[in-house]
Chains A and B, each alone.
Chain A
Amino acid sequence: MNVNQHTPMASPYGQPQPGYSQPGYAPLDGGYPAPYAPYNGPASAYQPGAPPQGYSPFTSFPSKAVTANPVSDLSSPLDLGPARGPPASGPPPVSAPQPYNQYSHSQGDMQNGPPTMTQAPPRPAASQPYNPGAMNLSGPHPSYPQHYGPPSTIQQVTNQMTGMQIASGPPTPAGPGYAPPHSSQPPVSTAYSAAPPPSYTQAIPPVSSAPTQPPPPSGPATSQQYYGGPPPSSQQPFNSSLPPTSQQQFTSSAPPPPSSQQTFPPTSYSGPVPPPSQAPAPPVSQSQQSFPPTQPPFSSAPPPVSQPAFLSGPPPPVQGSFPPRAPPPSSQPGSFPPPGPPPTSTSSQYPGPMPPQQQPPLSQPSPYHSGPPPPRAQMPPTSMPQSNHLPPGPQGPPGPPGPLQQPPPQPGMQGGYPPQQNGAFGQVRGPQPGYAGPYPGQPNYGAPAPAPAPAPPAQKRLDPDAIPSPIQVIEDDKAKSTEPFTTGVRGQAPPLVTTNFQVKDQGNASPRFIRCTAYNMPCTADMAKQSQVPLAAVIKPLATLPPDETPPYVVDHGEGGPIRCNRCKAYMCPYMQFIEGGRRFQCGFCSCVTEVPPHYFQHLDHTGKRVDCYDRPELSLGSYEFLATVDYCKNNKLPQPPAFVFLIDVSYNAVKSGMVSIVCQELKTLLDYLPRENPEMDSVVRVGFVTYNKVLHFYNVKSSLAQPQMLVVSDVSDMFVPLLDGFLVNVNESRLVIESLLDQIPEMFADTRETETVFGPVIQAGLEALKAADCAGKLFVFHTSLPIAEAPGKLKNREDKKLIGTDKEKSLFQPQVGFYNNLAKECVAQGCCVDLFLFPNQYVDVATLGVVPVSTGGSVYKYTYFQAQSDQERFLNDLRRDIQKPVGFDAVMRVRTSTGIRATDFYGSFFMSNTTDVELAGLDCDKAITVEFKHDDKLSEETGALMQCAMLYTSCSGQRRLRIHNMAVNCCSQLADLYRNCETDTIINFFSKYAFRGILNNPTKAVRDTLVNQCAQILACYRKNCASPSSAGQLILPECMKLLPVYLNCVLKSDVLLPGADVSLDDRAYLRQLISCMDVAETHVFFYPRLLPLMKLESGSLPVAVRDSEERLSKGGVYLLETGLHLFLWVGASAQQELLLNIFGTQSFSQIDPSMTSLPVLDNPFSQRLREIIDSFRAQRSRYMKLMVVKQEDRAELIFRHFLVEDKSASGGASYVDFLCHMHKEIRQLLS
């Protein structure tokens, strides 16, 4: 499958894409706002879906077609399986009821007999899918051509032309394209007119198609010619069936079969289906020729259908159909989106997207119940916009069938057939018009589409453009968030993490510090349980703020220490209510009344506020710091300044890879950038050095020495620190000695032959050093290999791929030995944070080695197969950042909440010795802690829910402080409020951490199922309690959670939960640990990478991202993909020379060196801007992203594809569309 897909994909893309991408994208770029709006409206997405398919098919089709098949296979087992099963069975029925047959055929094709058909079509689809898509369109057209030869041809030509033009002169054409669309609609209409004919012609086209496939050369020839102009060979295949199917699928297929077939079928069907549809058509004319057996039935069925549809459809249907989808006339635009911009449009329009999913079902029904659809279609549109349920609208009608998808289809088929046609047509036309407008070609397609429409319905395919688009959501949010976000309003969800916004602290912590899954907490535990929405907050206590926001003020309450509530010990904050003229205050958390100490007394004004309220950060702000007194210090002693200890592996591998010399070289300069609070002052952080292989070498770098002294400790079984004075030194005082040391280390070990290393004793050594110096600090361990030398914490290689997928898999994520857990405990007690830099050439057991870093608030960095030349930059940037970043030590964090809820669980890099205190040996500005809350009582809507996160820590200057973050959220008694004010990104952050911890103790599959179930319950609960009544078959998603399925799918198919064959255990463990301390922004981009088209760059703004799917990539384009860990520059095989010249300085695709890690510095605005963008991306992330240049069809593309998360993944992860269908099924099961 893959192979087919890939190869075909590539070729097909080429041509179609340019056109598509440009038209589609162009609009996006230029006309975003405008087009979108329209799009959105157009919930019509439905139609769009169809039409878009027509277009998109080109781009998307192939993929879909391809994927579709595979998906279908996969999906079938998953979701569709059952649903389809029947459909499969359908085939038989096909024979009986022709109309059904079609549908069934579609299904049948997919699964059963159709194989031949499916295969044939799919392949073409695959190989030439797009073309085919185009062709398909044309295919039908061809039929037209025959009949309407001229028009169709013209249209096609125009399409192609536009495409071409667009390609060449992107923007303008696109712009025009769009604009035209509307205006061009007329053409659409023509298209329609044409379409009808097609339908008629369909019979004929089939002929052509038939010929294309096997015998009918002549027929095909003609068709080909028409299409041939553009994509000859490829077209043919398309002609046969694919194109139509694709189109149909989108439009009609989605609706009709969708329900039953869900996503999978649709896509998959689309491939096969089309044939059937065509088949049917052909059957009429040439049924005998190509597909005698199958076609006949099809032909019989479809033709009739189509005709009827036409009949009904043409005249009224068109409009009617439009209305339904059009009703959201706005939808028309929507329709647009589907075709080219679909993605965006869909995303933007919930409805749009929703519909696709839902629509499919809905649409299906609609098509089926052509009659109903229109009306319902209208309904839905409205509803959709409202609820985001596009589908509902369409489905609404189909709804009934929807739920039972399969059954419905059939019934729908029968009854609906005609309707469908109508509806479909109508829709098809509707959208087409819209599309037509935008894309000259579309009309044509549209025309064809309509024709295929009938068939499509049967196919039930989801239009990817019609399902919720992350990009659209992100862009909408950006557009919405123009004002600074003020935190004063309780229960207000902040802008998304992808949006740039300014925060004004007015009493609640900035979302940069705290983000919640829900800003309206359910009042009762029952509600919470019912909704299943996790109540959690992601807290990043030391987050760095942008320069235009003030860092937390430091408040000094004097010798008595911070003012606190007597009972719950909450710190003074804006939620404290002063009473009795200011002599006492009542705690907002526990309601206890506490005396105000005399030195803190202040009068109240007439509103009951303290007069000095705005002079005191702790009374007016959400985030601030207290100076801690000696009572808050370990052993009641003010802390010593912290120390950094560098522990460098000098075994053979470490030396050979160049790591040792790089580290030493870098440290020489880096030591001047140790963290400090006042940039004017020297850092007070002391440093120490240790090298090791299977023994440890400590260095005395006392300033009075002429040369450093090395102290070897071989007694690794009982580690100790051999020296006290001279180990931890002030950099400035010992600079000469340190430099001498760093110069000599690489030389000293240049000839080492020692390959064995220890690890446990290394950390012990650092720990002991800090203990001896009686300070907190951080260890930087640079390590290469599995520690097999005889020593505590010795490990053995236990990587066993056979365990993957079994119940024992979880053990692979657990530490191999208990030693490191105990060690971690000791480290935490001392405030010893460990950062681990790994340079493995083979299995190193990250799961075990990472225990200490993860438990001490440290980080693990991993550079597999480290090579100085290519990885140096990434490593050094990580190191620089890691050393320089603000960090707190020896921290204890406690989250206090108002009565009624309680922090019950914590996720992140830390250690807990009891249930309430999060102990962090170290905490840097990039680490986040996810806290889960549970009810233990009722909450009140009036007071809301309060939480106060207090973190006691030692600053890098050795000052003991308390950082306080306060957060108040609303409480709601209506579920709808809950769903209206939650944040999917944060929920995903929680889910991922929850799941990644879950795999420690549960089989991976169980964890995945749990996630899916909970997600389904959340959505089902919404559907049941908050959505307007609609058919059960509708997929209705809450506005705030419409991306939940796509994101959740990304989590599910992440390497951790669903590893591909080439993902090592170490990688999984590494990611697992890494994610556990990520904040929301990081998890967001990690799970849904940012993919930017680079065809056109403007200074000042980034190009609008595109969705993470292969079909969004234009062969002629260059794209930048960023995950927070990786950065890819994908270069299409036929990228424009000018583009290449601007970026790489070469015009030749083949001359691009895929091994380059940075772009050449070229003196042109494009190159400059691109490098700026890359730099800015890197600056945003806590880890440096190495740039990988991926050339299309290069081997490295496999890696790149892994991050196209909306597609099926090589490891078996479902595509977005498939997953959405699956989710829909789950929801429906829950509802029923």
Chain B
Amino acid sequence: MATYQEFIQQNEDRDGVRFSWNLWPSSRLEATRLVAPVSCLFTPLKERPDLPPVQYEPVLCSRANCKAVLNPLCQVDFRAKIWACNFCFQRNPFPPSYAGISEVNQPAELMPQFSTIEYIVQRGPPTPLIFLYVVDTCLEEEDLQALKESLQMSLSLLPPNALVGLITFGRMVQVHELSCEGIAKSYVFRGTKDLSSKQIQEMLGLTKPAAPGQQGRPVAPQDAAASCRFLQPVHRVDMNLTDLLGELQRDPWPVPQGKRPLRSTGVALSVAVGLLEGTFPNTGARVMLFIGGPPTQGPGMVVGDELKTPIRSWHDIQKDNARHLKKATKYYEALANRSAVNGHSIDIYACALDQTGLLEMKCLSNLTGGHIVMGDSFNTSLFKQTFQRVFSKDYNGDFRMAFGGVLEVKTSRELKVCGAIGPCVSLHSKGSSVSENEMGIGGTSQWKVCSLNPSTTLGIYFEVVNQHNAPVPQGGRGAIQFVTQYQHSNTQRRIRVTTIARNWADAQSQIQHIESSFDQEAAAVLMARLGVFRAESEEGPDVLRWLDRQLIRLFMFHLRRSPFLQVFNNSPDESSYYRHHFVRQDLTQSLIMIQPILYSYSFYGPPEPVLLDSSSILPDRILLMDTFFQLVIYHGETIAQWRKAGYQEMAEYENFKQLLQAPLDDAQEILQTRFPMPRYIDTEHGGSQARFLLSKVNPSQTHNNLYAWGQETGAPILTDDVSLQVFMDHLKKLAVSSSA
């Protein structure tokens, strides 16, 4: 038998699942004692180049409240052509098309290696993808120009049949009509007025004579084309739109001295949501919001237009001094929910030096599965590359994005699902497998994930409900089935089914087994997600305290210091941004976020990972730190001096040149795969940007440990924060004291 490590890895590769425990305590009581809940990280669309989708419909359990999909774990009677559902034990006959089934002629879904299988199903006419650009025009000329170019470029990346739309806003909101020849038409909305979806549709002239009532069905294409002049196939309006974007001007309204430009982000989004709602409900669509500053007027306003009033800080929020915060948040949440209901996701591309109101707007993306990208300017490679990467394609030439996902979780009787944490919203599907104990977004067994990509990962939390006095028979297995329905980027409807099973173990007799089945990494990430989820909704210190009471391991130290839980030194926007990514990335990335990786390059050997500790900062090393959001190349003092002296240009120091080049190449590799693209920092000892590194490392040497002073053992960090050493000491004390 393989080690747990291998088992875990294999499971992750095959099913995209990582459980905190790979043996499940068989009773509720035991499970509770384990502190870390039975939970998993699930990546619904994990890329599986080796998994060809099957072209037929899944076979479902006939029990109305079960509907589990036929899977390899089912008992099958090939002679009677009957299969037993492994969740509800219902015996189901095979459909007629399975008449030829036999032990040697099994359908794919019965083969063990197909614990994850993807079906392509025919449901209604294919609906094209929709991309609606919502563009802020209150930008500096340079930024706007860069943004225009990016947008124009993106047109060439879109599938030709995709529908595109353009909304621009500043003081007013303009919805551009794309179908017209000659005069460019746009519908204009006042940026200060909250309009209902119906009003918006009326004003856009979209009111349909008699909408076919079916919810969940897209409007017939021809109808849509006729009724919506604002969303047109790329191939038809390519030129038009390119010109239109080219002619985009900065918001012409004068901005008086001492004022911010009036930016009607709230109304623009409202219009975008209303437009899609009215024309393409339940169709995959991306609203891409590009903003260069905070909303300053109308609903969703984050800050007034007076420059003398700065945008809210954590300090203001704690003092309850952010007057627009609650109102704006509520406004955007309402929008996000509307959008999520219709399966439209909202991306936010915020590029500004100051905050842009992501704190208030984060829910737009968090609830709808959209991206948030934060940068300093649209005229940076960070934005340009990231934006380009949104449209990246997989090995099949398909976009790495899927829409309108619905994730359903089915559990065997001993388990109930408590909730999920990730870019999803509840569909409020209350079934027998739904626990009353909510963790994350709970109370449902179905979630809507409006937009998915192969790395989108949800944390799903379970509860063992089996009572202690009714133990599961030895060798019993619990099963969980994940059913993900989604719209593939090639407009197919697909269903991916992942069914997994784990053994039950009696915690009293098999505690060692259970211990060894613990997946530390997964548990850490899952706990961190819980922490972040709480941090979003509760006060910061409380969350830390809660976390401290929970199981704590090494990187919990870093977690405590991470921007996900610490708001110090981060603006509210940055915190929102970091958390946004934390709750959706897969395990590997999440770990990087929690505990940045530090590589050392030196003449003394090949590149090696080193401790994230101040002691690792040495003058003759080049350090490469990857925090997920930042990529820092730090040249030690000596290296920096050499570099300055230009040794790398001399033929005889070729090796030095190579040393310098090595981290760059590695960084480049990361840059090319990471989404969003990290902030790339090339700095050196004493450089102002070195702070990014210094703030992350364990402050084992500070101005307080006198013994460290003057020694060539690293760089002291000027901080009052406890070092890992102190933390561990304290932890040890706590661990042995019974009062813990």
Shortest Cβ gap from A430 to chain B (Å): 81
Residues of A within 8 Å of B174, CB to CB, are 711, 722
Residues of A within 8 Å of B204, CB to CB, are 714
Interface segment out of the listed A629-637, A680-688, A702-710, A1174-1182: A702-710
In chain A, what residue has the closest Cβ to B252?
A725
Shortest Cβ gap from B453 to chain A (Å): 36
Residues of B within 8 Å of A698, CB to CB, are 188
Q: A705-B247, A707-B183, A714-B202 are in contact. Are A724 and B253 (CB under 8 A)?
A: yes
For B183, B189, B204, which residue has the most chain A Cβ atoms within 10 angstroms?
B183
CB of A744 closer than 8 Å to a CB of B: yes
Residues of B within 8 Å of A714, CB to CB, are 187, 189, 202-205
Residues of B within 8 Å of A747, CB to CB, are 182
Residues of B within 8 Å of A744, CB to CB, are 182-183
Whole-angstrom CA separation of A710 from B253 in the bound complex: 17
CB of A587 closer than 8 Å to a CB of B: no
Mark each residue of chain B from 182 to 204: 1 if its CB lies under 8 Å from any CB of chain A, else 0.
11111111100101000100111
Contact A723 B183 (CB under 8 A): no
Whole-angstrom CA separation of A796 from B108 in the bound complex: 70
Checking A712, A726, A748 against B252 with a beta-carbon cut-off of 8 angstroms, the contacting residue is A726
CB of B458 closer than 8 Å to a CB of A: no
Whole-angstrom CA separation of A747 from B182 in the bound complex: 11
Contact A741 B183 (CB under 8 A): yes
Whole-angstrom CA separation of A741 from B182 in the bound complex: 9
CB of B172 closer than 8 Å to a CB of A: yes
Q: For window 95-134 of chain B, which residues contact chain A by CB distance below 8 Å?
A: none
Whole-angstrom CA separation of A584 from B184 in the bound complex: 66
Contact A718 B190 (CB under 8 A): yes
Shortest Cβ gap from B197 to chain A (Å): 14
Shortest Cβ gap from A578 to chain B (Å): 50
Whole-angstrom CA separation of A715 from B173 in the bound complex: 12
Whole-angstrom CA separation of A310 from B177 in the bound complex: 96
Shortest Cβ gap from B206 to chain A (Å): 10
Interface size class of A (residues with CB under 8 A): 20 to 34
For B174, B187, B195, B204, which residue has the most chain A Cβ atoms within 10 angstroms?
B187
Q: For window 202-260 of chain A, which residues contact chain B by CB distance below 8 Å?
A: none
Shortest Cβ gap from A695 to chain B (Å): 7
In chain A, what residue has the closest Cβ to B175?
A712
For A699, A705, A715, A744, which residue has the most chain B Cβ atoms within 10 angstroms?
A715
CB of A1149 closer than 8 Å to a CB of B: no
Contact A707 B202 (CB under 8 A): no
Residues of A within 8 Å of B205, CB to CB, are 695, 714
Contact B187 A712 (CB under 8 A): yes
Checking B184, B199, B247 against A710 with a beta-carbon cut-off of 8 angstroms, the contacting residue is B184
Whole-angstrom CA separation of A744 from B185 in the bound complex: 12
Contact B193 A713 (CB under 8 A): no
Residues of B within 8 Å of A722, CB to CB, are 172, 174, 188
Shortest Cβ gap from B74 to chain A (Å): 57
Contact B184 A715 (CB under 8 A): no
Q: For window 272-306 of chain B, which residues contact chain A by CB distance below 8 Å?
A: none
Residues of B within 8 Å of A994, CB to CB, are none
Residues of A within 8 Å of B187, CB to CB, are 711-714
Residues of A within 8 Å of B177, CB to CB, are 712
Q: For window 722-740 of chain A, which residues contact chain B by CB distance below 8 Å?
A: 722-726, 740
Contact B193 A715 (CB under 8 A): yes
CB of A819 closer than 8 Å to a CB of B: no
Mark each residue of chain A from 662 to 704: 1 if its CB lies under 8 Å from any CB of chain B, else 0.
0000000000000000000000000000000001011100000
CB of A720 closer than 8 Å to a CB of B: yes
Shortest Cβ gap from B227 to chain A (Å): 15
Residues of A within 8 Å of B184, CB to CB, are 707-710
Q: How many A-B residue pairs have CB under 8 A?
A: 67
Contact A709 B186 (CB under 8 A): yes
Mark each residue of chain B from 425 to 454: 1 if its CB lies under 8 Å from any CB of chain A, else 0.
000000000000000000000000000000
In chain B, what residue has the closest Cβ to A713?
B188
Shortest Cβ gap from B332 to chain A (Å): 21
Shortest Cβ gap from A1197 to chain B (Å): 49
Residues of A within 8 Å of B190, CB to CB, are 715, 718, 720
Contact A723 B182 (CB under 8 A): no
Checking A712, A723, A726 against B185 with a beta-carbon cut-off of 8 angstroms, the contacting residue is A712
Whole-angstrom CA separation of A718 from B188 in the bound complex: 12
Shortest Cβ gap from A691 to chain B (Å): 11
Q: For window 12-53 of chain B, which residues contact chain A by CB distance below 8 Å?
A: none
Contact A711 B186 (CB under 8 A): yes
Whole-angstrom CA separation of A695 from B207 in the bound complex: 14
Contact B172 A715 (CB under 8 A): no
Shortest Cβ gap from A1092 to chain B (Å): 50
Mark each residue of chain A from 1128 to 1160: 1 if its CB lies under 8 Å from any CB of chain B, else 0.
000000000000000000000000000000000
Residues of B within 8 Å of A707, CB to CB, are 182-184
Whole-angstrom CA separation of A320 from B597 in the bound complex: 138
Whole-angstrom CA separation of A117 from B457 in the bound complex: 113
Checking B172, B182, B185 against A720 with a beta-carbon cut-off of 8 angstroms, the contacting residue is B172
Residues of B within 8 Å of A718, CB to CB, are 190, 193
Q: For window 1041-1080 of chain A, which residues contact chain B by CB distance below 8 Å?
A: none
Shortest Cβ gap from A724 to chain B (Å): 5
Shortest Cβ gap from A711 to chain B (Å): 5
In chain A, what residue has the closest Cβ to B203?
A714
Q: A715-B193, A720-B172, A723-B252 are in contact. Are A709 and B183 (CB under 8 A)?
A: yes
Residues of A within 8 Å of B252, CB to CB, are 723-726
Shortest Cβ gap from A139 to chain B (Å): 78
Whole-angstrom CA separation of A748 from B195 in the bound complex: 28
Whole-angstrom CA separation of A708 from B185 in the bound complex: 9
Q: A718-B193, A722-B174 are in contact. Are A712 and B188 (CB under 8 A)?
A: yes
Q: A722-B172, A723-B172, A723-B252 are in contact. Are A712 and B186 (CB under 8 A)?
A: yes
Q: A715-B195, A724-B253 are in contact. Are A708 and B186 (CB under 8 A)?
A: no
In chain B, what residue has the closest Cβ to A745?
B183
Contact A695 B183 (CB under 8 A): no
Shortest Cβ gap from B170 to chain A (Å): 10
Whole-angstrom CA separation of A698 from B203 in the bound complex: 15
Q: A695-B203, A723-B252 are in contact. Are A710 and B195 (CB under 8 A)?
A: no
Whole-angstrom CA separation of A661 from B214 in the bound complex: 44
Shortest Cβ gap from A380 to chain B (Å): 78
Whole-angstrom CA separation of A821 from B670 in the bound complex: 68
Shortest Cβ gap from A992 to chain B (Å): 45
Whole-angstrom CA separation of A1204 from B188 in the bound complex: 54
Shortest Cβ gap from A35 to chain B (Å): 69
Residues of B within 8 Å of A748, CB to CB, are 182-183
Q: For window 166-183 of chain B, which residues contact chain A by CB distance below 8 Å?
A: 172, 174, 177, 182-183
Residues of A within 8 Å of B199, CB to CB, are 715
Mark each residue of chain B from 243 to 257: 1 if its CB lies under 8 Å from any CB of chain A, else 0.
000010100111000
Checking B172, B185, B195 against A709 with a beta-carbon cut-off of 8 angstroms, the contacting residue is B185
Contact A710 B172 (CB under 8 A): no
Shortest Cβ gap from B442 to chain A (Å): 41
Whole-angstrom CA separation of A156 from B538 in the bound complex: 120
Shortest Cβ gap from A567 to chain B (Å): 41
Residues of A within 8 Å of B254, CB to CB, are 724
Whole-angstrom CA separation of A710 from B252 in the bound complex: 16
Mark each residue of chain A from 944 to 971: 1 if its CB lies under 8 Å from any CB of chain B, else 0.
0000000000000000000000000000
Give me 18 A-to-B residue pairs in the complex whose CB atoms sit less than 8 angstroms apart, sorted by A's number: A707-B183, A708-B183, A708-B184, A710-B183, A710-B184, A711-B187, A712-B188, A713-B188, A714-B189, A715-B195, A715-B199, A718-B190, A722-B174, A722-B188, A724-B252, A726-B252, A740-B182, A748-B183
Show the binding face of B for A, using Cβ within 8 Å.
172, 174, 177, 182-190, 193, 195, 199, 202-205, 247, 249, 252-254
What are the 7 closest A-B residue pairs judged by CB atoms, nearest first?
A714-B203, A722-B188, A725-B252, A710-B185, A712-B187, A709-B184, A711-B188
Excluding A705-B247, A708-B184, 19 further A-B contacts by CB distance (< 8 Å) are: A707-B183, A707-B184, A709-B184, A710-B184, A711-B185, A711-B188, A712-B188, A713-B187, A713-B189, A714-B189, A715-B189, A718-B190, A722-B172, A722-B188, A723-B188, A723-B252, A725-B252, A744-B183, A748-B182
